[in-house]
């Protein structure tokens, strides 16, 4: 169901891009914005592993340095029929983890020292299974495509607003009067962002499900998520907002309407789904 939902959201994002491009930027503006966003996100996709690992001071560990971690990842990789990824550790007391890399052959899994400290072997397997599922599903690629379309829509909207301010929006190919341009461009930008976030949340549910299957028991990951959520509230993690979606537990906090802009589904809902899997209610 979540795979179908992701496909629908990607289709809506594509249609929105075409519509907004024609309405606000004209055909040429739409193509220019898409090209610019694609180049930016292609670079991010190609070098994302190096960028984010360096950003959080992650260092690669050998099997001699982290034998238990290597053993668990190797077992899970075999279970998931994936190549063995590189393994990194971040010196951070907040328990969290993420996976990165442009494909399964160039993947890396990173965990914090805080995560290794508080989780049992079974809970650690649940978390690592979740991250390996992201690798298997090529979620970095899907996220990059979604970001390309959302970024292009934002660029077009910004171009249209500046064009309206400086009186460049009067011809038939650009987009109507200044009030229409401002209102429509703002709505389009927010809609694109919400769709992008909804795609991210759908991929998290899929990774939870896949991680539960790879690790062998949904309750491993459910228990880990409880611990991670509690600990991350007690020890907040300083992160770049642009990378928050990569972590297994959202390091950024929001309440009320701000939850609409969360890259992750509610922890309670994720745990409920995992427990339903374990007890055969799904």
Cα gap 278→119, rounded to integer Å: 20
The helix (H) or strand (E) run that includes residue 241 is: none
Looking at the structure of the chain, the number of domains it has is 1
Q: What is the pLDDT of residue 155?
A: 72
Q: Which residues pair with 86 in a beta bridge?
A: 108
pLDDT of 3 over the 70 cut:
no
pLDDT at 2 over 60: no
Identify the pLDDT of residue 32.
Answer: 72
**Mean pLDDT of all residues in the chain?**
81
pLDDT digits (tens, 9 = 90+) for 117-175: 999 999 999 999 999 999 998 887 676 666 666 667 777 777 766 666 665 545 544 44
Q: What amino acid positions are annotated as catalytic residues?
A: 131
Q: Return d(Cα 109, Cα 8) in angstroms, integer.
A: 29
Residues 113 and 3: beta-carbon distance below 8 Å: no
Q: From CA 179, how far away is CA 162, in angstroms rounded?
A: 12
Residue 116: the pLDDT is 97
N- to C-terminal Cα separation, the chain? 12
Residue 277 clears pLDDT 80, i.e. is over it: yes
What is the reported pLDDT for 157?
73
pLDDT tens digits, 191-247: 777 777 777 788 899 999 999 999 999 999 999 999 999 998 898 888 877 677 889
User: Which pLDDT value is given to residue 92?
Assistant: 95
Closest C-alpha to 133, from 196, 80, 201? 80
| Residue 106: how many other CB atoms lie within 10 Å | 15
Range of the domain at 90: 2-278
Q: Read out DSSP for 186-205?
A: HHHHHHHHHHHHHHHHHHHH
Q: Which range among 1-5, 18-22, 88-92, 275-279 shows the weakest confidence by mean pLDDT?
A: 1-5
Closest CA to 145 of 195, 179, 207, 105: 195
Whether the Cβ atoms of residue 250 and residue 237 lie closer than 8 Å to each other: no
CB atoms within 10 A of CB 226: 14
Q: Are strands 86-90 and 97-100 parallel, antiparallel or unpaired?
A: unpaired
Confidence (pTM): 0.75
């Amino acid at each position: 169901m979540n795979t179908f939902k992701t496909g629908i959201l990607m289709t809506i994002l594509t249609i929105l891009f075409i519509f907004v491009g024609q309405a606000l930027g004209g055909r040429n503006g739409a193509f220019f914005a898409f090209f610019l966003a694609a180049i930016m996100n292609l670079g991010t996709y190609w070098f994302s592993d190096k960028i984010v690992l360096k950003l959080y001071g992650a260092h690669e560990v050998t099997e001699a340095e982290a034998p238990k971690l290597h053993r668990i990842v190797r077992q899970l990789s075999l279970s998931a029929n994936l190549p063995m990824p590189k393994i990194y550790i971040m010196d951070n007391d907040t328990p969290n983890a993420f996976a990165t890399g442009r494909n399964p052959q160039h993947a890396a899994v990173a965990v914090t020292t805080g995560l290794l400290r508080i989780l049992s072997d079974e809970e650690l397997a649940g978390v690592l299974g979740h991250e390996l599922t992201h690798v298997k599903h090529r979620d970095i690629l899907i996220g990059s495509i979604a970001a390309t379309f959302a970024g292009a829509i934002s660029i077009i909207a910004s171009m249209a607003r500046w064009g309206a301010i400086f009186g460049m929006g009067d011809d038939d190919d650009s987009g109507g009067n200044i009030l229409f341009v401002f209102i429509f461009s703002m709505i389009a930008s927010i809609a694109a962002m919400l769709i992008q976030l909804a795609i991210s949340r759908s991929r998290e549910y899929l990774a939870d499900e896949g991680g539960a299957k790879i690790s062998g028991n949904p309750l491993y990951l459910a228990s880990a998520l409880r611990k991670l959520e509690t600990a991350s509230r007690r020890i907040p993690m300083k992160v770049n907002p642009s990378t928050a979606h990569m972590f297994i537990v959202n390091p950024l906090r929001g309440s009320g309407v701000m939850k609409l802009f969360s890259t992750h589904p509610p922890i309670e809902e994720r745990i409920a789904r995992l427990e339903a899997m374990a007890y055969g209610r799904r």
